[in-house]
Chain A
Amino acid sequence: MARDIDIHVEHLTRVEGHGDIFFNAKEGKVENVQWHVTEAPRFFEAMLRGKSYVHLRPITSRICGICSIGHSLASLKATEAALGVQVSEETVLLRRLALHGENMQSHVLHIGYLVVPDLFGVGSVFPIVDVNKEAVIKIVGLHRLANFMSDLVCGRTTHPITLQLGGFSKVPTIAELIDLKSRLEASKPAISEVAGLLASVKGNLPDFDRETEYIGLVDDNLYALYDGDIGSSDTGLHPVTYYKDITNEYVVGQSTAKFTKHARDSYFVGALARFNLNESKLNDFGRETAEVLGMKAPVHNPFMNTYAQMVEVADSVQDSILIIDELLDRGVKGDMAKVELKPGRGISAVEVPRGILFHDYTIDSIGNCTKANCIIPTNQNHANIQKDMDELAPRIVKLPEKDIELALEMLVRAYDPCISCSTHYTKVHFV
């Protein structure tokens, strides 16, 4: 049917931050489809100038309320790299545990509160309480457990406290770790049930594939979140210090667009990218969950990012149990590495729920930061979102307007964008 369609979704709901979607068609032909970020810039990189190295972590933590543990760790790693501080194995284990807590918390929130409503055809999680209270209670329970874990390891899940330069200002006791482990074990049935629920509504996801480059941290032995090299599905491994070669920013045409591209015009970061790069490193519970969801790498449907997150929730729970076992074995001492001032530059990469995050600091001889750069995962996804929209638009232009709108919204939501973290503004203009 040849109609004229004008859709403007202002301030997309059920995503973190503010963004708009534009879709215009004339006589059944797509004229314009745009993903438009309207978030107020906060100028974090400018803020960090002149700040003491001790304040870099508390400030950058405030870039994001959901990934604050990730930002804190990226910040600490970059500062430690700049100052030449070596943290102990115990510190790394606890930091990995913290990151698992954050990954679980963010993914469960995204899956349960932000995406599931679409799969059930309702506006928010609240009506689902009437239809399937059990499922909501399970989701809330998993969310609470993830917060419990981060609270225990970090003192507080949002803007963590115990994550410090060189170590932890407070460590969990053996009794607390044993208790946490039993709670994690007890959560597995609920995770399997939620995965089963997702599997049952998988048909409600648009059937849409678009292969792109997938980028994330890769490690020899682990499903990498805390450490690793930069891995690309197209070009293999790269050292973290060469991040700028990966995240090239460029401007398209006369627009103010800043895309990031590497081997292709855009790339994907986040759970789906990690899954595609690191499926072989999943532990048993992660692998089992992937099977339930019918996922086998590589998966090219961006809507499946949410499902990849579910796989990661399971993997994180199991990996956390393994980490706790190791901590119980070695005992927890509260190591704190010595920190000495010296000028230097440090670059770090950490996987936060939404993808790979880079922090790059230059610190002078008296400990003040002279230059900072933070590349946020969602930033790196904006180009990919636009490219997906470009390809999806002609396929859905014949649908009723409500369905076009929903499909575009679901696409953006699938990426789990963290728009307010974007310290760079990206306005994409379809030329």
Chain B
Amino acid sequence: MKPKVAFFDFASCEGCQLQVVNLEEKVLDLVDIVQVVSFREAMKEHSDDYDIAFVEGSIMRPMDEERLKKIRHNAKILVALGACACIGGVNKLRNKWSVDDVKAEVYGDAPIEGNPYFDVFPTKAVSEVVAVDAYIPGCPINKNEFAKVVTSLAVGRKPKLPTYPVCVECKKNETVCVFELGQFCLGPITRAGCNAICPANGEGCDGCRGFLEDLRVNAMKDVLRQHNVTLDQMMKRFNLYNYKREGH
């Protein structure tokens, strides 16, 4: 019996779902082993009968929470897809200010009070609203990791994410460390699984896959200080995707 799969998105750029489409020919393999019953971006058909739900995006409003809870209720397995769903991603950057303040900045004095579409609270990741069974992190996700998670679920194995830092993948690729190029990088405290793609392209890691559970943050700050990174620069970089995880 092919598991039934559905894709949902909340506040996001939909870039993560695009990576699923970017599997190109392998999408035909994908739809062979699972039955896609709902994928709003690509299909007209929709069904509420699904086993696995992939959820992209962050939760911003009470109406989003309700919709998410319904999805959680329908699904046996719920997978958070991408940084916005897993850790809040860039969507959490606005949590620095009050909801009133950001509304005023963007909408000025347009009459939006009492309108449920505007009833936002500070951004939440999916796990802050419902229980999540598996995560596919990254901004965007790595489509190979997506394929791995799907095949794991299909063969009956709990998907496992790397618990080691990006440095491991960078070294295996023999990439010249970006610290040597005068940049700085959050690779040592960020979860691997992206194959260290940003350092491979000459840019230091921003931590989009989320910091490790026991990150060596003090050791990291020491290293950054040694490389003349100011506290302001450090915090701005730390907070890009991992808002308020470390420090202010």
A–B contact at 8 Å CB threshold (below): yes
A interface list, Cβ under 8 A from B: 11, 13-17, 38-43, 45-47, 49, 51-52, 55, 58-59, 62-66, 68, 109, 113-114, 117, 123-126, 129, 137, 140, 143-144, 147, 155-159, 161-162, 164, 169-170, 251, 256, 258, 420-421, 423-425, 427
Task: Specify which chain B residues have a CB less than 8 angstroms from the CB of A140 in the assembled complex.
Answer: 24-25, 27
Which of B16, B36, B40 is close to A11, meaning CB atoms less than 8 Å apart?
Answer: B40
Query: CA–CA, A425 to B115, complex, Å?
Result: 11
B interface list, Cβ under 8 A from A: 9-19, 21-22, 24-25, 27-28, 31, 36, 39-46, 57, 60-61, 64, 89-91, 93-94, 97, 101-103, 105-107, 110-112, 115, 117-118, 120, 139-140, 197-198, 200-203, 206, 233, 236-237, 240
Query: CA–CA, A17 to B39, complex, Å?
Result: 12
12 pairs of residues in contact across A and B, judged by CB atoms under 8 Å: A13-B44, A40-B60, A40-B61, A40-B64, A41-B118, A43-B106, A65-B18, A124-B39, A126-B31, A155-B198, A161-B198, A420-B12
Most buried by B among A124, A143, A423: A124
Most buried by B among A137, A420, A423: A420
Give, as a whole number of angstroms, the nearest-CB distance from B64 to chain A.
6
Q: Chain B residue with minimal CB distance to A42? A: B11
Give, as a whole number of angstroms, the nearest-CB distance from A382 to chain B.
14
Task: Specify which chain B residues have a CB less than 8 angstroms from the CB of A425 in the assembled complex.
Answer: 107, 112, 117-118
The reply to whether A40 and B18 form a contact with Cβ atoms under 8 Å apart is no
The reply to whether B19 and A158 form a contact with Cβ atoms under 8 Å apart is yes
The reply to whether A258 and B64 form a contact with Cβ atoms under 8 Å apart is no
Query: CA–CA, A144 to B28, complex, Å?
Result: 14
Q: Chain A residue with minimal CB distance to B102? A: A46
Q: Chain B residue with minimal CB distance to A15? A: B41
The reply to whether A62 and B13 form a contact with Cβ atoms under 8 Å apart is yes
Query: CA–CA, A45 to B117, complex, Å?
Result: 18
The reply to whether B42 and A125 form a contact with Cβ atoms under 8 Å apart is yes
The reply to whether B201 and A162 form a contact with Cβ atoms under 8 Å apart is yes
**Ranked 5 nearest A-B pairs via Cβ:** A65-B15, A169-B202, A155-B201, A123-B44, A124-B43
Query: CA–CA, A17 to B21, complex, Å?
Result: 16
Which of A63, A65, A427 is close to B16, meaning CB atoms less than 8 Å apart?
Answer: A65
